[in-house]
Chains A and B, each alone.
Chain A
Amino acid sequence: MKYQTQRIAQVYFTVALALFAIQVIGGLLAGWIYVAPNTLSELLPFNIVRMLHTNSLVVWLILGFMGAAYFLIPEEAEREIHSPMLAYIQLAILVLGTLGVVVTYVFNLFEGNWLLGKEGREFLEQPLWVKVGIVVAALIFLYNVTMTVLKGRKTAITNVLLLGLWGLALLFLFAFYNPHNLGLDKMYWWYVVHLWVEGVWELIMASILAYLMLKLTGVDREVVEKWLYVIVATALFSGILGTGHHYYWIGTPGYWQWIGSIFSSLEVIPFFGMMAFAFVMVWKGRRDHPNKAALLWSLGCATLAFFGAGVWGFLHTLHGVNYYTHGTQITAAHGHLAFFGAYVCLNLAIFTYAFPILKNRDPYNQVLNMASFWLMAGGMTFMTFVLTFAGTVQTHLQRVMGEGYMDTQDQIEVFYLMRFGAGLAVVIGALLFIYAIFVPRREVIEPGPVERERIEHDPDHVAAE
């Protein structure tokens, strides 16, 4: 660790991992309710479990991004973080808000209260006071990291990262606007949800991936930057008007069917670009970095994001197809693999890379960590396939044959059972990951020949830089 303030990241990552555990366990519970619908139906109804699952997902991912920013900006900018104090205050606000959310949801408090009660839009259910807290925390965060970058060296990686983080915060402001007209409500809701994951978060993803590639493969910065710019340009070009793929059936004019189909099809390009980028960098890379697990997560991230977002997104993005598949289990299949591949793997990659450095030790427990990758990635992939089958059958029975919703659900039960099994593997993988990160054992992976040579000829060498 070259800069003291990078340590801030460790606290963020730790909170994020705790929420990650809660998130996947919540998912498993939701998956079990699908199998045995009366489970906890009084104490903790499905809609609340689902909210906890999705909200904790978004919160921990954002905490991870923020931690990643605190970790990599000092190195890129060659400056300590402007104010560590503010960083901790910011985290405290976010944790308080998260606890408030959990308590409000679980005990269903303040129903209908404009300030304290939950608001009913998926992913944005947080009570108003929590939303305000999020904005305050985001402002503190942006002030803190922007000041650091402005005072220090400006690189393509920090520029893109800041652009993504500013976009994330500004787009969140649409969460405050909730018109009565349901069509308009949905329109603005997607400004947050879609323009996050298929817009500004992609910038964050590309920049963190670029940073990891720079460190793990040792490819020249210039090469990395060229890729980064092309990825960012294609992401914004396609992603902004790609929002149209959510405006097919909500009462918006018919031309959205074409705008949405055309632009969102092009969204595959940046995800393909990121996958090509990661593999080309590893191919070209001269460095044989000892942190193999971080490299595995990075490559897994780029690959699964391409499949989850790119391929599974394209699968149902043309309006002729979406007419049938809209809101079926196909959507859930895509939502899971896309979020997992792009943003979960990305966070776990930077955690895997950063923790040994933050704790100032060699990358321990790599085999465990890599096993957790295969468990989670395998579980998620299997879940995606299962849900895709379920969705195909559902689409056929419900949308083509015209059977009732619940009649259809009865006929795809077996898939939900398998989804639960796949989810169990993911949860075990997640717990294994957390264990591998926090509990040091012994160095398992030997450095390769190039790295050994470096260690011999470079006494200042730190195993994981």
Chain B
Amino acid sequence: MSDTARADASGTLPGDLMIWVLIVSELLVFGAALGGFMAVRTTDAAGFAAAQDHLDRTAGALNTIVLLTSGLFAALALRACEVGSRGRARLWLGAAAALGLVFLWVKGLEYAAKAAQGIGTETHPFFTFYYLVTGFHAAHVVAGIVILGLVSWRDNVANIENATAFWHMVDLVWVLIFPVIYLLR
């Protein structure tokens, strides 16, 4: 299928208005959290750098690959549904959700490793933000997996379009929080 066939140049947002209200709201929340994180970092840059060294950057990078690939699968599901291949759409949705589970599993390993070192939310402001922001994001991954499941059951184009938009928002947020929290120093 060609890209130009889809482009209607109408300039309207794809999907429901409400999903975009949600996406903007989520971006505001995560944006404010990252802004707060950076602001508090100014008060103790060395402490933040030292705390950041406890993070597993490899796991973070791996999760970036997992989530962005999952996003691709979700987008492919929508395309398949649009051309009427219900079976393939469901397969892609299932694959996207499965990678979502992989993401959560890696995240769980990370949290377990922190907990084993005795690192909690009150250990250092860095970790307050780390747990809060990544935890909140992970909660969205959980919700996204449920939503992907729901729309592979109620599989019409509108539903899948909204569900995958939600899933891409989760991607989008991750590519912003990963560099800021794991990498900037």
Q: Which residues of A contact B (CB under 8 A)?
A: 226, 229-230, 233-234, 237-238, 253-255, 258-259, 261-263, 265-266, 269
Q: Tell me if A233 and B36 are in contact (CB < 8 A).
A: no
Contacts of A265 in B (CB 8 A): 32
Q: Tell me if B21 and A230 are in contact (CB < 8 A).
A: yes
Contacts of A254 in B (CB 8 A): 121-122, 128
Q: Which of A229, A230, A259 contacts B132 (CB 8 A)?
A: A259
Is B167 part of the contact surface with A, judged by Cβ < 8 Å? Answer: no
Q: Tell me if A258 and B25 are in contact (CB < 8 A).
A: no
Number of interface residues of B (CB under 8 A): 16
In whole angstroms, what is the CA distance A255 to B128 when docked? Answer: 6
Q: Which of B18, B21, B22 is the most central at the interface, judged by chain A CB atoms within 10 Å of its CB?
A: B21
Is B129 part of the contact surface with A, judged by Cβ < 8 Å? Answer: yes
Annotate B104-141 by CB proximity to A: 1 below 8 A, 0 otherwise: 00000000000000000110000011011000000000
Contacts of B18 in A (CB 8 A): 229-230, 233
In whole angstroms, what is the CA distance A237 to B122 when docked? Answer: 26
Is B33 part of the contact surface with A, judged by Cβ < 8 Å? Answer: yes
Question: Could you name 11 residue pairs across A and B whose Cβ atoms are closer than 8 Å?
Answer: A230-B17, A234-B25, A253-B122, A254-B128, A255-B131, A258-B36, A258-B128, A259-B132, A261-B36, A265-B32, A266-B25
Annotate B71-93 by CB proximity to A: 1 below 8 A, 0 otherwise: 00000000000000000000000
Annotate B2-22 by CB proximity to A: 1 below 8 A, 0 otherwise: 000000000000000110011
User: What's the least CB distance linking B173 to chain A, in Å?
Assistant: 14
In whole angstroms, what is the CA distance A238 to B25 when docked? Answer: 9
Q: Which of B22, B131, B132 contacts A237 (CB 8 A)?
A: B22
In whole angstroms, what is the CA distance A258 to B22 when docked? Answer: 20
Contacts of B131 in A (CB 8 A): 255
In whole angstroms, what is the CA distance A229 to B17 when docked? Answer: 10
Contacts of B28 in A (CB 8 A): 266
User: What's the least CB distance linking A261 to chain B, in Å?
Assistant: 7
Q: Which residues of B contact A (CB under 8 A)?
A: 17-18, 21-22, 25, 28-29, 32-33, 36, 121-122, 128-129, 131-132
User: What's the least CB distance linking B153 to chain A, in Å?
Assistant: 24
Q: Tell me if B21 and A234 are in contact (CB < 8 A).
A: yes
In whole angstroms, what is the CA distance A253 to B135 when docked? Answer: 15
Contacts of A233 in B (CB 8 A): 18, 21-22, 25
In whole angstroms, what is the CA distance A92 to B22 when docked? Answer: 43
Ranked nearest first, the 6 interchain pairs of A and B with the lowest CB-CB distance are: A262-B32, A255-B132, A237-B25, A255-B128, A255-B121, A233-B21
Q: Which of A230, A258, A266 contacts B129 (CB 8 A)?
A: A258
In whole angstroms, what is the CA distance A265 to B32 when docked? Answer: 10
Q: Tell me if B17 and A226 are in contact (CB < 8 A).
A: yes
| Supplied contacts A259-B132, A262-B29, 18 more A-B pairs, CB within 8 Å | A230-B17, A233-B18, A234-B21, A234-B25, A237-B22, A238-B25, A253-B121, A254-B121, A254-B122, A255-B131, A255-B132, A258-B33, A258-B36, A258-B129, A261-B32, A263-B29, A265-B32, A269-B25
Contacts of B128 in A (CB 8 A): 254-255, 258
